[in-house]
Structure 1
Amino acid sequence: MTLNLAVAQSLCTAALTEAARRRLVVSVAVVDAGGHLIAFARMDGAEIAGPVLAPDKAYTAVANSAPTHELAVAAAPGGPLFGLHAAAGGRYVIFGGGIPLLDVAGRIVGGIGVSGAPEPADDTACAQVAVTRWAAMR
């Protein structure tokens, strides 16, 4: 399975459907293995930061080979990645909502980012639904 526009849009839809089920209003982005945007969707009324944060969460997950909620712990004061949030011109986002997408061989082929829920764990949960859809497609 290739992470192309149609697939990326399907992943956005999966995350948006989960957000609607949870009564959340979010933005969703899917990037390729180079962190370049493939697809983006913003629910009506979503926060103004979503068009920046959702793609940056996806980018961060790809660039660091880890879900963004895991980076939050490592980037805390005293952690091994402290200061990470200031790297890449401030593009790295170190709170939940970004998850890498892996191919069947375990290589990162892209990432998904969700932003806008009141709690980062809800962004992560919506992104995880899209990751589950990706796993079923590949």
Structure 2
Amino acid sequence: MSKLTLSAAEKIVDTALAKGGELGLKSLTVAVLDAGGHLVALKRQDGSSILRPQVASGKAYGAIAVGAGSRWLDENAKTRPHFVQALNGVAGGAIVPVPGGVLIRAGEGGEILGAVGISGDTSDNDEACAVAGIEAAGFSADRG
């Protein structure tokens, strides 16, 4: 059985930040949460604005909360806005329902080990960096 260790979380974060640099993205903040929604690792690049840690964590938390990457939340915010609004209310406003929150799975369709949330560039670019980090650590990425 795979496990999300601190070492694996650090590899995810460092790879995601390196991918952002490779793509020439704006300053990123990367949060890795375990399956219970607890913060395992967070890095905020120089120049990241002050709410980026909360946004990154909110993307990851939302993914864990619904068991799907935050792209799923984004689609549902468009088609079922009352549901996503109610869900966010129940979560105390902790969910950020836009792409950039990606589940970490133990293999394709496997157990949810946690989630990565990234904030700083476009949601699609944030998501791409999260996927790069998750895959580099040997896990499967679930975008939703």
Compute the displacement of 1:47 (Å): 2.0
Compute the displacement of 1:56 (Å): 1.6
Which residue is 1:14 aligned to? 15
Aligned length: 136
Alpha-carbon displacement from aligned partner over 1:101-122 (angstroms, at most 9, x marks no partner): 11137111100010011x1111
CA-atom RMSD, angstroms? Answer: 1.9
Which residue is 2:75 aligned to? 73
1:112–1:127 CA contact under 8 A, matched in 2: yes
Between the aligned partners of 2:84 and 2:24, the Cα distance in structure 1 is 34
Compute the displacement of 1:78 (Å): 4.1
Q: TM-score, normalised by structure 2?
A: 0.85
Between the aligned partners of 1:91 and 1:126, the Cα distance in structure 2 is 22
Q: What secondary structure does 2:67 align onto?
A: coil
Q: Which runs of 5+ in 2 are unaligned?
A: none
Which residue is 1:61 aligned to? 63
Percent identity, aligned pairs only? 35
Structure-2 change in CA distance of 1:86 and 1:45 (3 Å) = same
> Is 1:39 matched with 2:50?
no
Q: TM-score, normalised by structure 1?
A: 0.89
1:99-114 to 2 correspondences below 5 Å:
99-104=102-107, 106-114=110-118
